[in-house]
Amino acid sequence: MKTIRITSDLITGIPMIDQQHREFFKRIAAFLECVEAGKCDWVQLGGTYSFLEAYAIEHFDAEKSLMTQAQYPEVVSHLKMHAAFVAQLEAMNPANFNEDDDGAGLRMSFLLVDYLKQHIAVTDQKLARWLKDRHPDQYGQVKT
Ligand SMILES: [Fe+2]
Ligand SMILES: [Fe+2]
């Protein structure tokens, strides 16, 4: 697994979303490096899990408000993806596993990389394009 970089496909151009995503990238990059190096202990895994739990509530709530206010037509399917991520995350709660479970860090890494590629780079980008297109006064025109 390669260390993540903040590439342009992960930047939406919507300041509130990008600001929260940046916090996520920073934390995840450190976690992936730690797992990759085989140095991620149970305490770090638990810390990452707690961060993600809190982050998901805050960030998904913020995106929900944004989509609702803007009357985004794909709000339901977008929120379903958020709920699916939360469900997958909860299934990985380290509190439910033994500390000698070597695969826990790797499983969480795969979930996070998948979330970056499938959700942020695709679904959040789709929302951002729609916001910029439909509400250019607030979010600016889409760059071509
Ligand atoms: Fe997001
Ligand atoms: Fe989202």
**Domain range list for the chain:** 13-136
Residue 106 has pLDDT above 70, yes or no: yes
- What is the chain's mean pLDDT, rounded? 92
Residue 130 has pLDDT above 60, yes or no: yes
Using 50, 70 and 90 to split pLDDT, how confident is the model at 21? very high
Residue 143 has pLDDT above 70, yes or no: no
- 73 burial level (CB within 10 Å; 0-12, 13-18, 19+): exposed
Identify which ligand lies nearest to the alpha carbon of 55: 1
Q: What is the distance in A from the centroid of ligand 2 to the CA of 39?
A: 30
Q: Are 75 and 68 in contact (CB under 8 A)?
A: yes
H helix and E strand count, the chain = 6, 0
In this structure, is the dihedral angle defined by the CA atoms of residues 22, 129, 71 and 77, taken in order, positive or negative? Answer: negative
Q: Are 31 and 44 in contact (CB under 8 A)?
A: yes
Taking only the tens place, the pLDDT of each residue in 57-79 is: 999 999 999 999 999 999 999 99
How many Cβ atoms are within 10 Å of 32's Cβ, its own excluded? 21
Residue 144 has pLDDT above 60, yes or no: no
Report every protein residue that has its C-beta within 5 angstroms of ion ligand 1. Answer: 124
Q: Looking at domain 13-136, which CATH architecture does it have?
A: Up-down Bundle (1.20)
Q: Are 52 and 93 in contact (CB under 8 A)?
A: no
Q: What is the distance in A from the centroid of ligand 2 to the CA of 78?
A: 6
